[in-house]
Amino acid sequence: MAESAAVEYHIDRRSGVATYLQIVQQTKQALRLGLLEPGDRLPTAREVVEATAINPNTVLKAYRELEREGLVEARRGLGTFVTRTLGGAAAVDDSPLRAELADWARRARTAGLEKDDVSALFTAVLDKTFEGDHAG
């Protein structure tokens, strides 16, 4: 049996984002960054419930959504396993783009921006850059 993946869910109850969507988004993020790879087992619903104190049905709803999107597969009695990744070339640790972004983030922090400020700024630039691009 494959090891449980190195993914820990962090639920922000004040974010306004549905809890199950936070799990879906965090799983996709881990897939994009290569933290989860095909064959890795997601934490069981019980493990997620113990770590986050959320309803087990919420975890199962998130896992069903990931399965519907073809990213994971539930295997009865064994768990839920990653079937494919979302990682692009820019997501890997040694990517020049990642290094440039890390440098930019450090400069933003040094300039006094808080994490939420940096996130908002990055999201605004990202939205503007991909405006009208409905492929994603």
Q: Tens digit of pLDDT for each residue in 9-65?
A: 999 999 899 999 999 999 999 998 888 989 999 999 999 999 999 999 999 999 999
- Distance spanning both ends of the chain, measured CA to CA: 34
The burial class, CB within 10 Å (0-12 / 13-18 / 19+), for 58 is: buried
User: pLDDT at position 58, please?
Assistant: 96
Nearest CA to 5 among 56, 68, 31?
Answer: 31
Cβ-contact 48, 23 below 8 angstroms: yes
Instruction: Provide the residue type at 16 as one letter.
Output: G
18 vs 29: CA distance, rounded Å: 16
In this prediction, residue 1 has a pLDDT band, given cuts at 50, 70 and 90, of very low
Q: Is the pTM of this model over 0.75?
A: no
Q: Tens digit of pLDDT for each residue in 58-94?
A: 999 999 999 999 999 999 999 999 999 886 655 566 6
